[in-house]
Amino acid sequence: STSTLRYDGRVAVVTGAGAGLGREYALLLASRGAKVVVNDLGGTHSGEGASQRAADIVVDEIRAAGGEAVADYNSVIDGSKVIETAIKAFGRVDILINNAGILRDRSIVKTSDQDWDLVHDVHLKGSFKCTQAAFPHMKKQNYGRIIMTSSNSGIYGNFGQANYSAAKMGLVGLANTTAIEGAKNNIHCNVIIPTAASRMTEGILPDMLFNELKPKLIAPVVAYLCHESCEDNGSYIESAAGWATKVHTARGKGAVLRPTIEDTVTPEYVEKVWSKVTDMSQAKHLEAIAHASGSLLEVLENLKNGDKDAVEDTFTFASRELI
Ligand code: NAI
């Protein structure tokens, strides 16, 4: 039997919590004892205008259910103001869910500087500014749980979303480093890759799918990632329709691009071994940058020592054909 996951004494900041996924995160955390800052600028889905209504309605919902919440109407670009609201109202910040977002879909040719900049400002810079402002508080209390919101549009690309997919993949990079910098202070940072029915996906997702993709089904996954019992740090979790999985990067075995350390690399040699360079049949996930550089040192060592077997192992084909 598992005990109920509670958030008593925890303060959570949920950005873009006036609607969609953020609203569900805020409602769930508050229903389980967290004090919640409901941040929402209240503009249009393309980032125009502002209104206090979106945040106010969710704060009212939380209070009506007996929970504790305050509204914050700042843009996430002013991250320090958002976090200041938490400190003023509740004296701390334990959980930060970077969720606020907008869309300005255009093909690459039609994307204006403003379409590019605003999408990057809200998603990427906004998540950075809120994280940066929350970090000193989390370090001091030796505890923090941070979520970055990515998208399959970033992981796989999506026609007409150059600005959005770049920002969403940027958030994966931001999460990677946040996870490393926070680790020694028990500050964990994980990525959620959601697919949900919201005003953002209305008219984009097929009707049948849209109706099954309730944001409510993703909130428990994000809530678990934000709980003190969750040990994940630096994970990417995709979730939708009451299903979730971990996603990660993979690196192939690779191939050496020259017969000996004295040789140079030529485009012809690269062409010759390309099928080995791109062979993913022995691909592995690397846990850290040190493993990537470590394996390079190994390749160089083997080449230097003329360790035929070890080098052969990485470029059997090349050495036979081209020496
Ligand atoms: P939504 O449009 O319902 O909610 C986003 C909220 O963010 C809105 O209430 C909006 O007012 C607020 N917001 C926008 N700019 C803001 C700013 N500068 N400062 C503060 N608040 C701001 O959209 P949804 O679907 O709930 O999206 C939430 C997050 O999930 C976004 O980051 C989105 O990119 C991401 N996402 C959503 C997917 C989906 O299928 N719905 C798929 C992949 C990612």
Domain layout of the chain by residue ranges: 11-247, 267-322
pLDDT digit string (tens) for 14-69?
999 999 999 999 999 999 999 999 999 999 999 999 999 999 999 999 999 999 99
Q: Which residues contact 79 (CB under 8 A, 6 or more apart)?
A: 126, 128, 129, 130, 131, 132, 133, 134
Could you tell me the end-to-end alpha-carbon distance of the chain, in angstroms, rounded to an integer?
Answer: 64
pLDDT at position 207 is 84
Q: Which tens digit of pLDDT belongs to each residue from 212-257?
A: 899 999 999 999 999 999 999 999 999 999 999 999 999 999 999 9
Please check whether residue 36 is in contact with residue 17, taking contact to mean a CB–CB distance below 8 angstroms.
Answer: yes
Q: Which two tokens stand for residue 65?
A: 């259910």
Whether 268 and 321 have beta carbons less than 8 Å apart is answered as no
Among candidates 167, 159, 169, which has minimal Cα distance to 76?
Answer: 167
Fold for the domain defined by 267-322:
Helix Hairpins (1.10.287)
11-247 folds as: Rossmann fold (3.40.50)
Pocket test for ligand 1, best of 200, 213, 218 (most atoms within 8 A of CB): 200
Any ligand 1 atom below 6 A from CB of 99 = yes
Taking each helix axis from N to C terminus, what angle separates 289-304 and 308-322, rounded to the nearest 10 degrees?
70
Residue 245 CB contacts under 8 Å (≥ 6 apart), including other chains: 237, 238, 239
Position in ligand 1 atom list of the atom nearest CA 123:
32
